[in-house]
Amino acid sequence: MGAILHIDMDAFYAAVEILDNPSLRGQPVVVGPPPTRRGVVFTASYEARKYGVRSAMPSRTAGRLCPQAIFVPARMERYREVSEQVMAIIESFTPVYEQLSVDEAFIDVSGVLRRWKTGRAVAVALKKRMRSELGLTASVGVAPNKFLAKLGSDLRKPDGLVVIPDDPKAIAELLAPMPVSRLWGVGKVTEARLRECGIRSIRDVQRLRVETLASFIGKSSAEHIYELAWGRDAREVITEALAKSISSETTFDEDCDDAEVVRQTLIGEVENVGRRLRSDGRKARVGHIRVRFEDFTTITRQKPFQKPTRTDRDLINCASDLWARIKMDAPIRLIGFGVSGFDDEEEGPRQGELPFGPFEQEPEPKRVERLDRAVDTLREQFGTSAVRRGSTLRLGEKRDSSENDD
Ligand code: TTP
Ligand code: MG
C-alpha cells in the first residue's frame, strides 16, 4: 500500500533562533517585533504558547499575555537557509515530495517502502536525522493520503509522530468528533454556512447524504467535503519538479477501450521522452504516467528510478509498473508519460581521460545508452516506425532482475 507522510517543523522560526542562541532554550521566545512596536508575531516557542501567544497576533497582545517573553527579530534569510537543509534531508529519502511552505512538506514514500518496509520507519528515520543533523524537531503524520497525513502531523505537536492506518472505519471514527474546520478547504465562510445548517462536527457531515450537503453549499464543495469527512482524498503529491517535467501524451481521436492499443501508444510516448532526455543530455529521477478517462477523470502515478536515468529500458520498465497500477475500467481519452527531477550533473569522463581502462568492459549503462542513441539516430533518418523495440522491452512483460524496482 502507498503511504504519504506530512512533516511540519515545530515552532520553526523560533526553533532556528534557539538553535543559533542556545541560551534561549526553554524560554518563552517570540519571533517578531517587540511589543512596543507595531507588527505581528511570526511564531512563538511552545513555552510562549502556554500563555496564549500565537502566530499573526499583534506583538503588543503577545507582550501583554506573556510579559517575560523574549522577543527576537525575524531573520528570513536564515530561515530560508535552514528550510533548504530540511528539504535536502527529505530529498535524500525520496525525490517524490511536495514542499508546501518554508517548514512543511508532503512525501510520497510508496516508492521506497521496499527498503523501509513501513511509513512509520521512514518517519522515525526522518525525525532522527532532523534532530541529529539540524538540531530541530519535527512532527510527522503517516497516512494513506495527504489530508490524513497533514491531520496526523498536527495531532501530537511538538515532536509528534502519528500513524493513521488504512482502516476506513477507524478513520471515520477518528474524524467524527472533530470540527468541520479540520476539513481541508473549509474556511471561515464555509464553516459559518455549515453552522447555519446545524453542521459543526465531521460526524454531522457523515450523517448527511451528499445531495443534502450539496443543497447547502453547492455540488462541487459538497462532494469534496463529503469525501474528506470519510477520510478519502485522491490528491497526488506534486513534486516541484513535476511542474518542470518533460512529457509526451496522446489524446485519442475516439476514446480507446483497447488496452493493447493504449499500451503501444504509451510505449511511443516513453520513447519520445527518452529521445528528448538524451538529446538534452539530461537524466531524470522520477517517471510518471497520466491517464484521462472518457469522463475526464485524470490520474497520475509516479515513481522514482533507482538511479537517475535516460535509457529507454529504465523508462519503459517504470511506465510498465505504473501502468500496472491503473485499473482500466472505462475507455481512455488520453495517455501520457513524463519524467522529472533532473539530475543535470555532468558525469562523463573528463577530457584526456580514458573513459574506461583498455581491458575493462564498457559499463552496462553506457552500452545501453549507446544503443538508445543509435536507435534515436536511425529514427531521425527513417522515421519513428522504422525501428521497433525487441519484445523484451514490451510493456507489461517480465523484466530482468537487475531493473530498478522501487
Ligand atoms: P507553521 O508551521 O504554521 O508554525 P510553526 O512551525 O512556527 O509552529 P508549529 O508548526 O509547531 O505549529 O509555520 C512555519 C513558519 O512560518 C513559522 O515558524 C513562522 C511562519 N509563519 C508566519 O510568518 N506567519 C504565520 O501566520 C504563520 C502561521 C507562520
Ligand atoms: Mg511548523
- pLDDT at residue 271 greater than cutoff 80: yes
Neighbour-count burial of 214, counting CB atoms closer than 10 A to its CB (0-12 exposed, 13-18 middle, 19+ buried):
middle
- What is the DSSP pairing of strand 138-143 with strand 161-163? parallel
pLDDT score at 393: 43
Q: Provide the 10 A C-beta neighbour count for residue 277.
A: 21
CB of 11 closer than 6 A to ligand 1? yes
Which class in CATH covers the domain with range 242-346+363-392?
Answer: alpha beta
Q: Using the mean position of ligand 1's atoms as its centre, give its distance from the Cα of residue 44 in Å.
A: 8
- pLDDT for residue 57 is more than 90: yes
Q: At what angle do helices 259-280 and 312-324 cross, to 10 degrees?
A: 140
Which of ligand 1's atoms lies nearest the C-alpha of 157?
Answer: 11
Kindly report, residue by residue over 303-323, the tens digit of the pLDDT.
999 999 999 999 999 999 999
Q: Does residue 239 sit in helix, strand or coil? A: coil
DSSP state of 350: P
**Topology of 169-229 in CATH?**
DNA polymerase; domain 1 (1.10.150)
pTM for the complete prediction? 0.68
Query: Whose CA is closest to atom 21 on ligand 1?
Result: 42
Is ligand 1 within 6 A of the CB of residue 226?
no
Tell me, using a 6 A CB cutoff, whether residue 106 lines ligand 1.
no
| Pocket lining: 42 vs ligand 1, CB cutoff 6 Å | yes
What pLDDT score does 165 carry?
A: 96
Percent of the chain with pLDDT over 90: 74
Q: How far apart are CA 104 and CA 138, in angstroms?
A: 9
Q: Which residues are catalytic?
A: 104
Task: Place 184 in a pLDDT band, splitting at 50, 70 and 90.
Answer: very high
- Dist. CA 101 → ligand 2 center (Å): 9
C-alpha 333 to ligand 2 mean position (Å): 41
Q: Which residues contact 292 (CB under 8 A, 6 or more apart)?
A: 251, 298, 332, 333, 334, 335
CB-based contact 159:17 (threshold 8 Å): no
Pocket test for ligand 1, best of 13, 43, 101 (most atoms within 8 A of CB): 43
10 lines ligand 1 (CB under 6 A): yes
Phi and psi of 333, rounded to 5°? -95, -40
Q: Which three cell numbers stand for residue 207?
A: 450523517
Confirm or reject: Cβ of 17 under 6 Å from ligand 1. no
How far are the Cα atoms of 230, 266, 304, 307 from residue 322, in angstroms, in the given order?
A: 27, 11, 11, 17
> What pLDDT is attached to residue 305?
95
Q: How far is CA 171 from the centre of its chain?
A: 22
pLDDT band at 406 (very low <50, low <70, confident <90, very high): very low
Compute the distance from residue 264 Cα to the ligand 1 centre, in Å: 48
Where are the chain's structural domains? 169-229, 242-346+363-392
> Is 137 close to ligand 1, i.e. is its CB under 6 Å away?
no
- Ligand 1: distance of its center to the CA of 115 in Å? 32
User: What is the helix (H) or strand (E) element at residue 79, kind and residue range?
Assistant: helix 76-93
For the cut 80, the answer to whether the pLDDT of residue 90 exceeds it is yes
Q: Which ligand 1 atom lies nearest to the CA of residue 46?
A: 11
Q: Residue 82: nearest ligand to its CA?
A: 1
